[in-house]
Amino acid sequence: MIRVLIVDDSAIVRQVFGQGIAKDADLEVVGAAPDPYVARDLIRERSPDVLTLDIEMPRMDGLTFLRKLMRYHPLPVVVVSSLTPKGGELALEAMEAGAVDVMCKPGAAYTVGDMTEDLVEKLKAAAQVRINRQALAHRIASKSVSAEALARTTQQVLAIGASTGGTVALESILRSMPPNGPGTVITQHMPAFFTRSFAARLDGVSAMEVREARDNDSVLPGVALIAPGDRHLLLRRSGARYYVNVKNGPRINRHRPSVDVMFRSVGKAAGKNAIGVILTGMGGDGARGMLEMKDAGAVTIAQDEASCVVFGMPKVAIDTGAAQEVVPLDRMPRRVLELSEKRSN
């Protein structure tokens, strides 16, 4: 049984979360705290395996509590944030501080049924993660990796798919990309609205321009486009120009945006001019699309197990033969740029 502690100042949210979690045979709610001080005592008394954590709470905000938790008693945390600009920014800060994943509070973005299904999935994924101070210190150190002396890039299209743990992995890659890095399309499993804050954060640390994709945006060197939350991102070609379509549509592999949808479109539009990368995440979204990219002539790469937060999506891609190479996260930027230059000559 995975032992779950719910930390939220809303009695309604605590009730909804508790009822949804109780329906799953693998999860057990061992407590519900209205603020971080109560949560601290419950952690000591009941030893939960994973926490849900609200950000905006009385007495102590969730971000301050998370930083203290990661310093003194590291545990996997799924952040629950309101669908507001402030909530989105704070949720991303929480993931930098060590949270494993983020989800919206029940409300306009979710029906209660959808929310509880996503919550259970995220809690199970988070419970697989072993958070420790050394890992957090390494994460901070990895941000200092310089893009200097990396190989020049060309007109290749880079497609990256990620889920749980992907926000940190993507930041690590984009920090190390030069200003003329390959035109990049990204699908990160993330709720609506958070992607805009996430893109803005990445834009502030990358030499490339990073932004949330808009329909008919051109895919150009030096630009990375992130699929908006709750919308699929597809690559299209018109003559010598690549551009993206941002579309609604059914959830694929329970996700919108879906990595499979993006990878399939990249395979069709760019073929041998594409490089596909699948990063950390739970489930198998992206493996079939990556196989189609490989069959179309693209180079395909999976993140290795040791550097993944959750070795789910990359493992499925490797097991199905979709990934041609397996690369550690800290070597991913250089390898992408090497391939991009080599294949353009």
For the beta carbon of residue 284, count every other beta carbon within 10 angstroms.
Answer: 17
Active site residue 255: no
The answer to whether the beta carbons of residues 210 and 224 sit under 8 Å apart is yes
Sign of CA dihedral 121, 124, 129, 130: positive
Q: Which of 81, 118, 189, 340 is catalytic?
A: 189
Question: In the annotation, is 189 catalytic?
Answer: yes
CA gap 226, 111 in Å, rounded: 25
Judge whether 137 and 112 are in contact, CB under 8 Å.
Answer: no
How far apart are the C-alpha atoms of 88 and 58, rounded to whole Å? 18
138 is catalytic: no
What sign results for the dihedral spanned by CA atoms 310, 203, 140, 93? negative
Residue in 217, 265, 285, 340 annotated catalytic: 285
What would the two tokens of residue 33 be?
């705290």
Distance CA 145, CA 160 (A): 20
> Which residue among 81, 82, 163, 197 is the active-site one?
163
Contact 233, 246 (CB under 8 A): yes
* Spatial distance between the Cα atoms of 303 and 316, rounded to a whole number of angstroms: 11
The answer to whether the CB of 2 falls within 8 A of the CB of 28 is yes
Report the catalytic residues. 163, 189, 285
